[in-house]
Structure 1
Amino acid sequence: MSRDGQRSSRLRHRPSRAIPSIIAGILLLAAGVALAWLAITRLANGTWPPLLQGPRDWLAVLAWNDPAIRQIGIAAVVAGVVLLLCAFIPGGFNALTIDDSRSGAGAEEPPVQERETVMTRRAVARLAKARCLQIDGVGSAAATATTRRVHLNVTTSLHEPGDLRARITDAVRARLEETGLSPVPQVTATVRSRD
């Protein structure tokens, strides 16, 4: 994928933190519904529901310096810190950048300024898998990719694979370099013999 222009949004973006937001929202909504139900029951009947009898009695005998209060406080602080970290620490990039400055080297036109070319992690994994399947001795392959690493799980019919792992990693790394990924992710492989 590529996009030109100064006003366009970046193609290589970080994912939104929707999952932690949804979890926090559902928990807060459930707490709000429960508190509203308890308050309405208290106002309508003049007493708290029998469901709260056990927790109410337990809370009535607690003191501020009770170990249970400290444990509840520590758990609340840890949950809050985890949610804050989820909100502030950015997620991983969804794509890898391609250095396309080499493509305009011999052209008559000057290269386009502010051009961004990216390749999604899924596309990098598919490219690595396709290159791996072209290597002699590889029966099947599966690939996963992050912005820093590509890992291949390879199955071979060879009883002794020998240097197959090195050939795979070298060939895939060379293909990723030819593509122009910048920086080229580290390539690792796990080779298993099919029984």
Structure 2
Amino acid sequence: MSRNEGESAGLRRRPARTVPSLVVGILLLAIGVGLAWLCIARLVSGSWSTLLQAPRNQLATLTWSDPLMWSIAAVAVAVGLILLLCALVPGGFNTLRVRSSSGEETGRGDVHAQSGNPGQQTVMTRRGVAHLARAQCVQVDGVSTASVTATAKKVHLKVGTSLRETKDLHTLVTDGVRNRLTAIGLDPVPEVTATIESRG
């Protein structure tokens, strides 16, 4: 993916927080639909729905010192703080910076370049880094299975092997993946860790 505008935005974007937004949107929509239905029922029948009677009677018996009231308030404050933090605290980067374009090395569409000499950027998605790390990992002798998770700062390998002694294998897979990520130009190179599971 290339961009020719000289002042285009950086490619290292943060997540859009779509999940919290979607949850809040669905909740507000449900509340709005429920209130609209109750109001329409009130206009048609001339009285409020009996569905409101039990909650209204229960709420009428509550006092400010009631434990249930404090529990409701605590849950509301906690949900509000979580949503506020989701809005204010930036998420982790979903791409990793590459010193030079290396899309031909991965064979995937996971490397994106921003053209133009000033401020040129090349990035690789976390999924692309995970695929590359896994491809490197399974080439090591003794590795039976491998799964990889990648963030902007860490790549973790979960390796299955039939070997009983796994110390040397641990060194081989971590060094091999680290060298591969260095070779494609990731800057900085994320920390590479591994968990070896002997299945022999």
- What TM-score bracket applies, with the shorter chain setting the length? 0.7 to 0.9
What stretches of structure 1 of length at least 5 have no aligned partner?
Answer: 102-110
Distance in 1 separating the partners of 2:27 and 2:100: 46
1:137 aligns with 2:142: yes
Distance in 2 separating the partners of 1:184 and 1:122: 15
In structure 2, the partner of 1:107 is: none
State how many pairs are aligned. 186
In structure 2, the partner of 1:58 is: 58
Query: CA contact under 8 A between 1:2 and 1:118: conserved in structure 2?
Result: no
In structure 2, the partner of 1:190 is: 195
2:130 aligned to which of 125, 131, 138: 125
What's the TM-score, normalizing by structure 1? 0.86
In structure 2, the partner of 1:113 is: 118
Distance in 2 separating the partners of 1:29 and 1:150: 39
When the two chains are superposed, the root-mean-square deviation of aligned CA atoms in Å is: 2.1
Indicate how the Cα distance of structure 1 residues 3 and 43 shifts in structure 2: closer, same or farther if over 3 A, else same. Answer: closer
Distance in 2 separating the partners of 1:179 and 1:4: 24
Deviation at 1:64, TM superposition (A): 3.3
Query: Which stretch shifts more, 145-154 or 72-81?
Result: 72-81
Distance in 1 separating the partners of 2:167 and 2:25: 53
What is the letter of the counterpart of residue 63 of structure 2?
A
What stretches of structure 2 of length at least 5 have no aligned partner?
Answer: 102-115
1:177 aligns with 2:179: no
1:148 aligned to which of 128, 153, 166: 153
What's the TM-score, normalizing by structure 2? 0.84
SS in 1 for 2:167: coil
Computing the radius of gyration over CA atoms, which structure comes out larger, 1 or 2? 1
Distance in 1 separating the partners of 2:131 and 2:184: 13
Distance in 2 separating the partners of 1:2 and 1:148: 25
Distance in 1 separating the partners of 2:20 and 2:65: 32
Taking every aligned residue pair, what percent have the same amino acid on both sides? 55
Indicate how the Cα distance of structure 1 residues 63 and 8 shifts in structure 2: closer, same or farther if over 3 A, else same. Answer: same
Distance in 2 separating the partners of 1:148 and 1:134: 23
Deviation at 1:60, TM superposition (A): 1.8
